[in-house]
Amino acid sequence: MKHNIQKKRLIAILVIFKPDLINFKKVVLQHEKNFNSIILVNNSPEISLKTFQSKITSIIYNDDNVGLAVALNIGILEAKKRGAEMVALFDQDSMLPNNFCKRMLQLINSYHDYKNTAVFSPIYLNKITNVYGSIINFKPFQLIRTQPNKFLNVSYPKYVITSSSFIPIKAIDKVGLMREELFIDFIDIEWCLRARSYGYSIVSFSKVEIEHYLGDSSVTFMGKNYPIHSPLRMYYNFRNSLYLYRLKEIDINWRIIDAARNLFRVIFYIVLVGNRITYIKYIFKGYFHGLIKKMGKLEE
């Protein structure tokens, strides 16, 4: 059954944290070419974004860095107040082609099972590694990463990244908002796996793509480029993974696979990435806080 999401009932939400304002101006201009309504949620109160305010773009200022999940929820709730039927979630590191929104809505509205889909997503080229983000699936004891197949119209990953996710408000009403105690990292994985536990699908359109920056740098290992994250981000990564293992909505296969991959991550960062002592400190602090359920923002 075809659906009919109109552009005027779709609101884009961008979460901002200490952006490079010159590059961010390009991001906003591309979003304004695509969307009729944009909400910027600013997690950097020391930075004024008044120059970005327009008929299309409005700004919500937070008094502090409240985290990605809280900021997304603030944007989603504001979009609901404005009568949005769907939200498109972004961070400040995604660049869109000119016809991105038009193409996404065409595919969404022609998709045969709209009511049972929680997220519609494009594929993305990671500009840090110059590699397309993988389509993620898993079976018992095995994570399956495949490169997007542009000969296929649709893929069905287990989860997708937050940025460029188009989510129907009805799905959010059923599944719930983003889990705020995670602060940052694994928010997208948790929400997608939670949505799947409610019987929803995750849909990726292979013929629509964006450019995204995932990671701070990259390392080549055995002929493959891997994105490298800061020690602080690895703290949240390890902490939040342990937290997710306890949640009944999380697929048991993901828990087993991720627990095994965490061992590889520790060795990878200690052996291949510089600043080893700092990484060890943050990784094991993350493990400890995950075990004792110390969540939210890390106060240092």
Instruction: Give DSSP secondary structure letters for 272-292.
Output: HSS-HHHHHHHHHHHHHHHHH
pLDDT at 187: 98
| Residue 264: partners with Cβ closer than 8 Å, 6 or more residues away | none
pLDDT at 101: 97
Beta bridge partners of 10: 86
74 or 45, which is more confident: 74
Q: Could you tell me if residue 293 is left (phi over 0), alpha (psi between -120 and 50 degrees) or otherwise beta?
A: left
Beta-carbon-side half-sphere exposure of residue 23 (alpha carbons within 13 Å): 11
| Residue 278: partners with Cβ closer than 8 Å, 6 or more residues away | 231
Q: Give the pLDDT mean for 227-242.
A: 95
pLDDT at 77: 98
Q: Are strands 165-168 and 86-91 parallel, antiparallel or unpaired?
A: antiparallel
Q: Taking the CA atoms of 283, 288, 290 and 294 in sequence, report the sign of the dihedral they define.
A: negative
Q: CA distances (Å), 116 to each of 96, 123, 165, 189, in order?
A: 26, 20, 15, 18
User: Residue 122, class by beta-carbon neighbours within 10 Å (0-12 exposed, 13-18 middle, 19+ buried)?
Assistant: buried
Domains of the chain, start order: 7-212 (3.90.550.60), 217-292 (no CATH)
- Answer whether residue 4 shows pLDDT above 60: yes
Beta-carbon-side half-sphere exposure of residue 95 (alpha carbons within 13 Å): 9
- Answer whether residue 1 shows pLDDT above 70: no
- Please name the helix (run of DSSP H) or strand (run of DSSP E) that holds residue 154, with its range, or none: strand 154-155
Percent of the chain with pLDDT over 70: 99
- Answer whether residue 3 shows pLDDT above 80: no
**pLDDT tens across 106-148, in order?**
999 999 999 999 999 999 999 999 999 999 998 888 889 999 9
